[in-house]
Structures are given as structure tokens and as C-alpha cells.
Amino acid sequence: MVPESFPERPRVICVDDEPNVLASLKLLLSRHYDVHTAGGGEEGLAMLARLAPVPVVICDMRMPGMTGNEYLRQVAQRSPASARILLTGETDIEAAAEAINTGDLFRFLLKPCAADQLRAALAAGVELYRLRTAEQDLLQRTLVGSIRALVEVLAIADPVAFGRIGRLKELALGVAATLGMGEAWHLEYAALVCQIGNISLPDATAKKSYGGQPLTMQERIQIEEALKLGPTVIKHIPRLERVMRILEELAANPSGSSSSLSVETQILRTVLVYEAIERTAKSRSAAIQAFIARSGEFDASVSGALLEVLGAGKPKNDASIEVGVRELRAGMITAAELRAVTGALLVPAGTEITPSLLARLMNFPRQQLPSSIQIQPS
């Protein structure tokens, strides 16, 4: 039976290359579950992206193309809260043991599986999913909310060092959504924290990095060392081990391509490079072309997803809207930098105007602000 705490029929994906098995599973489970079936791993991954959230995934071990073990590993990356159940024959025990030891499985069941045993496993899987998502909701509303507030304060106090974080988060989450990653709060947290080490940079280094100016060897080392502060900041916070791994991978691999990196790290590193290009390019179209010229440095699926997020290949109007600074409203996104008449950077390009940032700008003496700023069209 489904746990009473679940408000509706939980969604279940069953993946098997035998149509008769899928038909039997659907007949057996449809009374209490919203059952969807796929004939292979690739179809199952597409279904996971389309139907998310999915509390439970059941998969056969032996399938042509993608094995059940590999499929469930992919599910673990894309939807970590989903309970993953592997169906195996007696000859698959060694492979099942490997899957369990990698930590990717909730249960494994032997074929043929008794109906009561299968129903019990699904009910336990749904309850596990409920507990995981409740914990994640708490983390998102507390930890991620807290770091958002901290980063916003830092961006207001030092826009050169921290003003780019909002744009990094926006791009990273856009890529994750395009790739079908159902749960991306770990990536969001990593994007928010990855630049926290900039607080250690000398002003001259931070300004040169922001402006895309050539850096000395010592300045490059300073920036690489600053990346290492991210994991240090969060290493003592419970439940953020996955975020710490992303930041550690990023700090250890600041440039170059490596297929061994997690997809979150690949995304974060790719958007870091693109954001730096965008910040110094004459237009978004020019930034996209410059990134395409370097796209071979990155994972092909990640760079392709970023280009899709940016609308590459589609007619795009680079024109922005000019508004008076006193006409800015929360939710607007800057298309160009906002600098004081003295030249001091107040708001980087690509920054969302938040209520606190708006309040700070409104407190500036009118004579210290330019008359207008370029805003991205809504």
C-alpha cells in the first residue's frame, strides 16, 4: 500500500526491454501508482526528465544498449531523491552486488518477484522519497535561503568581487533544466558559493579579473587559491557533502576538460567561462560566437545546453531598453554595467535588481548616479 502521508498516486517509472514484463508491472501496480513504462534506458531517462518528480524507478538489469546498472546511476545523478529498485535474474547477482556497493540502489529484487514483495518495496521507496524531499525542502528553505541573503549583501558591498554570482546561478540552473536534471539545488548552492573566496583577493586582482584584463602569474595563483575557499566555507555544514565535492572538483580543475568530473562541476565550469566572456564582449551575439570558438574545451552536452539556453542559432535582438535609474524596479535585469559618475562599479551587467539593491541605489545622491541604464527586455 502507498503511505497515507502521500497526497496522490505516486509516479513510478518501470524500465524493461520485455513488453510482457512491462504490461504485467503496469497491471499489478496501476491501482495504487501512476505507472509509466519505457523499453530502454535512453527512453527511461527522457521519461524521467518529462515526468519529474518521480518517487520510484524500477529497472531490469539486462537490457540492450544501456544496462540497468548504468541507467540507475544516471537516475541517481539526475533525480537523487528517487528510490531506485533493480530487478535481476539469479545470474545477475554479481552485477547487483556492484550496484548496491556503489550506493546507487534502494532495493534489488529477484525475478520472478512476488506481488506482495514488489508492492512492499514500492511503498517503502515512496516513503524514502517523502523523507528525502522533506529534508531537501528544509535545506533549500534554510541553508540555500541563508546563502542567497549572504551573497546578496556581499554583491551590494563589493559588486566587482561578487556581482557576477547571480548571473552564474541563472546560467547554471538554465543548463541543468535543459539537461533534464530534476533536482538542482546542490548546483544552485555551489554556484552561489563558488565565488565566495573572492573576498580574499586584492582589489587590483579582483578588478583586473572582472574587466577581463591580462593577469600576472601571481594573480592567476591568487584566483585559483580563492576557488579553494568555497569548500572550506561549507565543509562543516551537515548534508552539503555533494556541494563540497562539486566545489572541490572545480578548484582542482579550474581549466581544461575532464570526462571524470560530475555533471554539476562541468556545468559550473562552463558557465564561469561563458560569463567571463559575456562580461567583456560588445554584445551577447559576440559573446556567443566567442564561446562557440572555445566550446571544444567543455563537455559537448553541457556546452550545447548552454547554447540552447542562450538561444544560439535563433534570431535574437541584442537591443536593450533604456530606463532612468530612478525608474528601476525589483525584478529587472541589467543589460549593461551601472557605474557611479566617479567610475565606481555599482551593479554589474546581468544582475537582477533585488529590493535590497534597489533600496541601496535609491539612497545614493542623485548627482552621483548616471541618468539612465540599459535593461534587458522582459
Lowest mean pLDDT among 20-29, 108-117, 152-161: 152-161
Neighbours of 127 (CB within 10 A): 17
* 138: Cβ contacts below 8 Å, ≥ 6 apart: none
pLDDT above 70: residue 258: no
**CATH code for 11-131?**
3.40.50.2300
Is the CATH number 3.90.105 carried by domain 319-378?
yes
Q: What is the pTM of this model?
A: 0.64
Mean pLDDT to the nearest integer, 284-292: 89
What stretch(es) of the chain map to CATH 1.10.3210.10? 158-316
Counting Cβ atoms within 10 Å, is residue 189 exposed (0-12), middle (13-18) or buried (19+)? buried
Least confident of 182-191, 196-205, 303-312: 182-191
Question: For position 6, what pLDDT does the model report?
Answer: 56
Indicate the residue type of 368: Q
Q: How far is CA 154 from CA 206, 207, 236, 303, 347, in A?
A: 14, 15, 21, 29, 12
Q: What are the start and end residues of each CATH 3.90.105 domain in the chain?
A: 319-378
Closest CA to 57 of 31, 27, 87, 32: 87
Position with higher pLDDT, 186 vs 139: 186
Band the pLDDT of 216: cuts 50, 70, 90: very high
| Position 312 confidence tier, pLDDT thresholds 50, 70, 90 | confident
CATH number for 158-316 (one of 3.40.225.10, 3.30.470.10, 1.10.10.10, 1.10.3210.10): it is 1.10.3210.10
Query: Where residue 259 falls among pLDDT bands split at 50, 70, 90?
Result: low
**What is the distance between the alpha carbons of residues 111 and 109, in angstroms, rounded to a whole number?**
7
Q: What would the mean pLDDT of 14-27 be, rounded to a whole number?
A: 93
Query: Which range is least confidently modeled, 30-44, 103-117, 130-144, 298-312?
Result: 130-144
With cut-offs at 50, 70 and 90, classify the pLDDT of residue 41. Answer: very high
Average of per-residue pLDDT across 342-356 = 83
Q: What's the rounded mean pLDDT across residues 120-139?
A: 87
The region of weakest confidence among 8-12, 40-44, 164-168, 234-238 is 234-238
CATH 3.40.50.2300 placement within the chain: 11-131
